[in-house]
């Protein structure tokens, strides 16, 4: 028997040994390939009201359902975006065991299914409860071409499942965004109280009007900086917060803006920047007496997220709402030299 035959036989022997080991593990734990990973999960999805996402190397995010709304506990119970959660829980409810992997803790790191406290990469522990009843406690490890490696916490056996599970790893990714959105064409009037310089406003008389007018009006020698005016008018278009802030620096100086739309929505917005250029934002909404029920519902939705809270705001919006009147005036160009 030559060396090549010996190597082939050794490889076959190793493959058979791995198969028998996997088969013994399946028999030991009473499960087989092709079975649902969590058979009872599909019937419990609707009753789940608390979820914890604990990624390796990041803070835990806790989501709870109250009165039909999901909230992020670590952000003062700010409303949560549960699109990814619902999608991934449905996938887990449908997930089937493709192949038994290791049941030895020493080999867990190769699949990313070790305890989260010991992990350094993609490992995530996902737990779910329905009232006081535990529904799911799962370690989600590395992805494979055909699925994900996982391990139920009460079972040393790890598995390759037929679903690729991916959950946001940072708390801010679970925040419901955008906070609000006011299209530039919907803005009727914006009144600005900047930190420096005089108060001013921009307005349109009709929604079909393309350009804003400036108040106080331009002097004969002044020209409007249309680019900056348009930046200001679009400052609240798809306003996405970057985080919810619990501790707000006391020394911040706030500028203010009142934004009124043609349909009767009024937003009072305050913005501030710290010395390190961290940008802060606050919003309160109300409706005019003439506003219809749709606008009043919109006010309630905005205030349910914004009232009493301070956010880290996007650079585009905070910088636009911080502009002085002088920044809306085009600077005269120097005359060309002869």
Summarised one tens digit per residue, pLDDT across range 278-306 is: 999 999 999 999 999 999 999 999 999 99
In a domain? residue 123: yes
Q: Are 48 and 129 in contact (CB under 8 A)?
A: yes
Same-domain pairing of 38 and 161: yes
- Please give the tally of structural domains in the chain: 2
* Half-sphere exposure (Cβ direction) of 205: Cα atoms closer than 13 Å: 1
Q: Are 170 and 224 in contact (CB under 8 A)?
A: no
Long-range contacts made by residues 40-48, C-beta under 8 angstroms, separation at least 24? 40/135, 41/89, 41/92, 41/93, 41/135, 41/136, 42/93, 42/94, 44/130, 44/135, 45/89, 45/90, 45/93, 47/130, 47/131, 47/135, 48/89, 48/128, 48/129, 48/130, 48/135
Same-domain pairing of 203 and 88: no
Same-domain pairing of 54 and 169: yes
Same-domain pairing of 144 and 229: no
In a domain? residue 336: no
Among 111, 146, 174, residue at a domain's last position: 174
In a domain? residue 256: yes
SS3 state of residue 231: helix
How many other C-beta atoms can be found within 10 angstroms of the C-beta atom of residue 66? 9
Question: What pLDDT score does 6 carry?
Answer: 44
Same-domain pairing of 193 and 312: yes
Report the percentage of the chain scoring pLDDT > 90.
Answer: 86
Same-domain pairing of 136 and 224: no
Same-domain pairing of 165 and 193: no
Q: pLDDT tens, 97-136?
A: 999 999 999 999 999 999 999 998 899 999 999 999 999 9
Q: pLDDT tens, 225-282?
A: 999 999 999 999 999 999 999 999 999 999 999 999 999 999 999 999 999 999 999 9
Q: How many helices and strands (H and E) does the chain possess?
A: 7, 17
Looking at the predicted structure, is the pLDDT value of residue 333 above 80? no
pLDDT band at 331 (very low <50, low <70, confident <90, very high): confident
Lowest-confidence pick of 216-220, 287-291, 323-327: 216-220
Q: Which sign does the torsion angle of CA 98, 104, 109, 112 carry? A: positive
Burial 28-54 (b: 16+ CB within 10 A, else e): eeebeeeebbbeebeebbeebebbbbb
Pick from 91, 236, 84: nearest CA to 174:
84
Q: Are 239 and 179 in contact (CB under 8 A)?
A: yes
Between the alpha carbon of residue 13 and those of residues 16, 20, 24, 104, 133, the distances in Å are 5, 10, 16, 21, 45
Question: What pLDDT score does 18 carry?
Answer: 46
How many other C-beta atoms can be found within 10 angstroms of the C-beta atom of residue 219? 8
Pick from 261, 257, 258: nearest CA to 290:
261
Question: What pLDDT score does 64 carry?
Answer: 98
What is the extent of the structural domain holding 34? 29-174
Q: Are 188 and 177 in contact (CB under 8 A)?
A: no
Q: Are 176 and 63 in contact (CB under 8 A)?
A: no
């Amino acid at each position: 028997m030559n060396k090549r035959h010996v190597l082939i036989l050794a490889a076959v022997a190793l493959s058979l040994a791995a198969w028998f080991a996997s088969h013994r593990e399946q028999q030991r734990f009473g499960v087989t390939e092709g079975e649902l990973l969590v058979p009872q999960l599909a019937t419990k999805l609707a009753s789940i009201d608390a979820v914890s996402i604990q990624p390796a190397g990041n803070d835990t995010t806790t989501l709870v359902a109250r009165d039909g709304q999901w909230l992020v506990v670590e952000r003062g119970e700010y409303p949560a975006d549960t699109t990814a959660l619902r999608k991934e829980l449905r996938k887990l409810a449908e997930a089937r065991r493709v192949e038994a992997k290791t049941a030895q803790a020493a080999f867990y790191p190769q699949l990313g299914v070790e305890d989260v406290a010991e992990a350094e990469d993609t490992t995530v522990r996902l737990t779910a409860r329905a009232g006081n009843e535990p529904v799911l406690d799962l370690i989600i490890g590395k992805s494979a071409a055909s699925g994900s490696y996982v391990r139920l916490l009460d079972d040393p056996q790890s598995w390759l499942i037929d679903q690729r599970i991916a959950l946001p790893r940072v708390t801010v990714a679970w925040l419901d965004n955008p906070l609000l959105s006011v299209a530039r064409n919907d803005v009727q009037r914006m009144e600005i109280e900047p930190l420096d310089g005089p108060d001013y406003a921009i307005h349109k008389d009709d929604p079909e009007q393309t350009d804003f007018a400036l108040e106080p009006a331009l002097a004969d020698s002044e020209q409007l900086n249309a680019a900056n005016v348009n930046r200001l008018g679009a400052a609240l278009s798809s306003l996405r917060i970057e985080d919810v802030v619990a501790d707000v620096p006391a020394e911040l100086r706030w500028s203010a803006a009142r934004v009124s739309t043609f349909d009767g929505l009024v937003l009072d917005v305050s913005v501030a920047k710290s010395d390190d250029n961290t940008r802060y934002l606050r919003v309160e909404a109300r409706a005019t007496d003439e506003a219809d029920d749709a606008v009043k519902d919109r006010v309630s939705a905005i205030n349910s997220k914004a009232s009493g809270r301070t956010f880290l705001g996007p650079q585009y919006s905070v910088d636009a709402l911080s502009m002085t009147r002088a920044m809306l005036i085009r600077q005269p160009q120097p005359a060309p030299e002869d």
